[in-house]
Structure 1
Amino acid sequence: MARGIEIREAHFPGRAPIEAYGNGGFRFADMSHRGSILCLPSGIYGWDVTEGDALDASLFEKVLAEAGDIEFLLVGTGMSIRFLPAELKTSLRAGNVSSDPMSTGAAVRTYNVMLAESRAVAAALIAV
């Protein structure tokens, strides 16, 4: 019986530094991903967010689910810095997660340094 192509949610089961970013995606662990990503303790996930989307708390459910393993969340907001909504900051703070919005490039560089230092870091990175 012939089956069609099965499309699964993008997920890399591990922690890896971001090797490159730009052209609408990211490269990590010798793979590439087009679109935005969430880098969490449980792995790297495709994230359906584009620059300019409202950053409401519902987009960060995976982050909040792993809040016990995260101390710092770096939010790469695209080409320029955007402030995080108060509701989102409150939700993160309730999980003892400090959040820091910055351009995606700055977030990638900071994430790689903190990951190399074995810090409890996560990143939400909007593709540029």
Structure 2
Amino acid sequence: MRLNEITYGNAMPVDGYGPGFFRIGGKVHEGAVLTGPDGPGAWNGFDDTAPLLAMTGRVDVLLVGTGAEISHIPAALRSALETAGIGVEVMNSPAACRTYNVLLAEGRRIALALLPV
């Protein structure tokens, strides 16, 4: 068996989550959070499109965690992201965290927008 050390660059894996928070790269973030190539930062939900669109050309896919349950994102948001060339995958936040970590470890160009559970 061959073991390889994983390096994430500025992007950091999701270490954990709980009611109203996410722990990313060892630091706790309260409320909604966006993380990707530049590391984690605050996100104000579906109406806060500017930081999502700022990743145009830097990420191929944005995973959107919609909280404890999966739900649809606004059609206008999906359309804006897809027009910008960013693929969108919607799932509940726990699944989004797990998927993000796997794809990040594979070196994929990925970002994660999370609403708290």
TM-score (norm 1): 0.79
1:44 aligns with 2:43: no
SS of the residue 1:91 aligns to:
helix
SS of the residue 2:85 aligns to:
coil
> Deviations 1:12-41 (Å, cap 9, x if unpaired)?
x92100000112101122221111110121
**Higher radius of gyration, 1 or 2:** 1
Give runs of aligned pairs for residues 100-119 of structure 1, distance below 5 A.
100-119=89-108
CA–CA separation in structure 1 for the residues paired with 2:49 and 2:107: 22
1:75 aligns with 2:64: yes
Give runs of aligned pairs for residues 2-81 of structure 1, distance below 5 A.
14-49=10-45, 55-56=46-47, 59-81=48-70
Unpaired runs of at least 5, structure 2: 1-8
1:90 aligns with 2:79: yes
Residues 26 and 34 in structure 1, CA contact (< 8 A), matched pair in contact too: yes
The number of residues matched between the two structures is 109
Residues 75 and 107 in structure 1, CA contact (< 8 A), matched pair in contact too: yes
Report the RMSD for the aligned CA atoms in angstroms.
Answer: 1.5
CA–CA separation in structure 2 for the residues paired with 1:85 and 1:28: 26
CA–CA separation in structure 2 for the residues paired with 1:30 and 1:20: 9
The share of aligned pairs that are identical, in percent, is 39
Unpaired runs of at least 5, structure 1: 1-12, 50-54
Q: Which runs of 4+ in 1 moved over 2 A?
A: none
Match in the other structure for 2:110 = 121
